[in-house]
């Protein structure tokens, strides 16, 4: 087994060697611009792009023409929200989203709000991080133009009832955008069955390269139109100008093809590793709390709070395992995870949370090592923790007057 171990597959994933192999010719001998219509270099590039478009569309049950290439999911989210708002502003300016969306959606919504271009409803989530479809229905007004709800959450892995939300959107004639960055390639996604009109996702979360993503834009019933946010040569049906990064797109296509072919065996294999990690840790360590939905959750996701120890110190104690924490100390803002806060997880437990993200290339041996290490480090840090000591003495930590700073 090689150290360090990568257990942060929600942040990114390594490029699958088969993906890299597909990409390589397009850096060197097949380097053409897909927009060059007059020579073989261009044709070759265009053909590769169209092949990738098919592979990507197939994974989500879309038409290849409905795939708009972007630089990644952040750009896709921006294009979806800003593009729709600008296009349909005469019809309405109200957006419905949820409090646990990715920052790419939340901050875009806030920008639109700040500029006076939109009013935004941020729906709460339940204790598992799930949006209630009834809340979506009740929030719709005659001014509502767009619903933007994520498929699966990046911190806690909770999968939203997207089918139901799609039905509500359709019945009310409101467009439905879904940030599916964490879900595509991991769980079945079908834009038809789910009633999705716009969908953001990216390659690097599914063993493809960084720097490329897509926005699915529905072509019929209804035909969704967008005001482009990037002006230029009118690429991608005019929705996103800019020379297509052919090697990245080829990699994105191959990555989608592999996910489609292997999901049925890969998802249960990854879920089994996750379940073993979860059970072993939670059985061995007292006062641990699972964050997120117990079953409606991405196969590779595990988010646990370890009472009385702080997240960043946990990560530091396991420095040969790459993980992520909801602790304030690991964020740029010095605030603990807003996702965990939205679930009603107490601030102190948000500070104590660790996210494990299991992916395609993790092994049982790595999981064994991680279990051992987690138990060891939590035990050591609890011995060092005044909170643990007080709790053991029977002191109710909530009754203590803390000298906050």
Exposure class string for 230-257: b at 16+ Cβ within 10 A, else e: beeeebbeebbeeebbbbbbbbbbbbbb
Residues contacting residue 385 through CB under 8 Å, at least 6 positions apart: 308, 309
- The footprint of another protein on residues 362-391 (CB under 8 A) is 383-389
Question: Judged by CB, which is closer to another protein: 20, or 390?
Answer: 390
403 binds another protein (CB under 8 A): yes
Q: How far is the CB of 403 from another protein (least distance, A)?
A: 5
Question: Judged by CB, which is closer to another protein: 351, or 360?
Answer: 351
Q: How far is the CB of 352 from another protein (least distance, A)?
A: 9
Question: Judged by CB, which is closer to another protein: 296, or 312?
Answer: 312
Tokens linked to 81: 């929200």
Question: Judged by CB, which is closer to another protein: 45, or 328?
Answer: 328
Q: How far is the CB of 101 from another protein (least distance, A)?
A: 24
Q: How far is the CB of 333 from another protein (least distance, A)?
A: 10
* Active-site pick, 178, 256, 259, 329: 329
404 binds another protein (CB under 8 A): yes
Establish how many alpha carbons lie within 13 A of residue 353's alpha carbon, considering only the half-sphere containing its beta carbon: 29
Question: Judged by CB, which is closer to another protein: 274, or 382?
Answer: 382
Q: How far is the CB of 311 from another protein (least distance, A)?
A: 8
User: Is beta strand 175-179 parallel, antiparallel or unpaired with respect to 198-202?
Assistant: parallel
> Residue 313's closest CA among 367, 388, 364?
388
Contact by Cβ (8 Å): 71, 79: no
Question: Judged by CB, which is closer to another protein: 214, or 345?
Answer: 345
- The footprint of another protein on residues 289-348 (CB under 8 A) is 308-310, 312-313, 316-317, 327-329, 334, 336, 346-348
Which phi and psi angles does 240 have, rounded to 5°? -155, 100
Q: How far is the CB of 374 from another protein (least distance, A)?
A: 17
CA–CA gap between residue 134 and residue 125 (Å, rounded): 12
CA–CA gap between residue 223 and residue 184 (Å, rounded): 22
User: Is 178 a known active-site residue?
Assistant: no
> Residue 106's closest CA among 296, 333, 315, 323?
333
Residues contacting residue 283 through CB under 8 Å, at least 6 positions apart: none
By CB neighbour count within 10 A (0-12 exposed, 13-18 middle, 19+ buried), where does 142 fall? exposed
Establish how many alpha carbons lie within 13 A of residue 45's alpha carbon, considering only the half-sphere containing its beta carbon: 23
Number of residues that bind another protein (CB under 8 A): 28
What is the binding site for another protein (CB under 8 A)? 308-310, 312-313, 316-317, 327-329, 334, 336, 346-348, 351, 383-389, 397, 402-405
Active site residues per annotation:
329
């Amino acid at each position: 087994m090689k150290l360090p171990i990568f257990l942060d597959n929600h942040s990114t994933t390594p490029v699958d060697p088969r993906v890299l192999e597909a990409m390589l010719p397009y850096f060197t001998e097949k380097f053409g611009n897909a927009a060059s219509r007059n020579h073989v270099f261009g044709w070759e590039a265009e053909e590769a792009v169209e092949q990738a478009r098919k592979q990507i569309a197939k994974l989500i049950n879309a038409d290849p023409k409905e795939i708009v290439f972007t630089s990644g999911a952040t750009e896709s989210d921006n294009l979806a929200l800003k593009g729709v708002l600008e296009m349909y502003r005469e019809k309405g300016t109200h957006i419905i989203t949820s409090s646990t969306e990715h920052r790419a959606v939340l901050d875009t919504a806030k920008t639109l709000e700040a500029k006076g271009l939109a009013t935004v409803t941020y729906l709460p989530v339940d204790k598992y991080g799930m949006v209630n479809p009834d809340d979506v229905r009740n929030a719709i007004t005659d001014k509502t133009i767009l619903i933007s709800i994520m498929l699966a959450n990046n911190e806690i892995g909770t999968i939203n009832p997207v089918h139901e939300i799609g039905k509500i959107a359709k019945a009310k004639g409101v467009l439905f955008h879904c940030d599916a960055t964490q879900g595509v390639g991991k769980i079945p996604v079908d834009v038809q069955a789910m009633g999705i009109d716009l969908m953001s996702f990216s390659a690097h979360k599914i063993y493809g390269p960084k720097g490329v993503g897509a926005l699915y834009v529905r072509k019929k019933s209804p035909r969704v139109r967008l005001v482009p946010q990037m002006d230029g040569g009118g690429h991608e049906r005019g929705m996103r100008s800019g020379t297509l990064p052919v090697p990245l797109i080829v990699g994105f296509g191959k990555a989608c093809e592999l996910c489609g072919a292997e999901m049925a065996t890969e998802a249960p294999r990854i879920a089994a590793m996750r379940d073993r990690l979860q059970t072993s840790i939670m059985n061995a360590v007292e006062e641990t709390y699972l964050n997120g939905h117990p079953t409606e959750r991405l196969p590779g996701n595990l988010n646990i709070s370890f009472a009385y120890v702080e997240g960043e110190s946990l990560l530091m104690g396991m420095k040969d395992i790459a993980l992520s924490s909801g602790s304030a100390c690991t964020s740029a803002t010095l605030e603990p995870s807003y996702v965990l806060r939205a679930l009603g997880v107490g601030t102190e437990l948000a500070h104590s949370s660790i996210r494990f993200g299991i992916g395609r290339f993790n092994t049982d041996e790595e999981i064994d090592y991680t279990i051992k290490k987690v138990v060891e480090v939590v035990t050591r840090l609890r011995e060092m923790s005044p909170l643990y000591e007080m709790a053991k003495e029977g002191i109710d930590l909530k009754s203590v007057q803390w000298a906050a700073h």
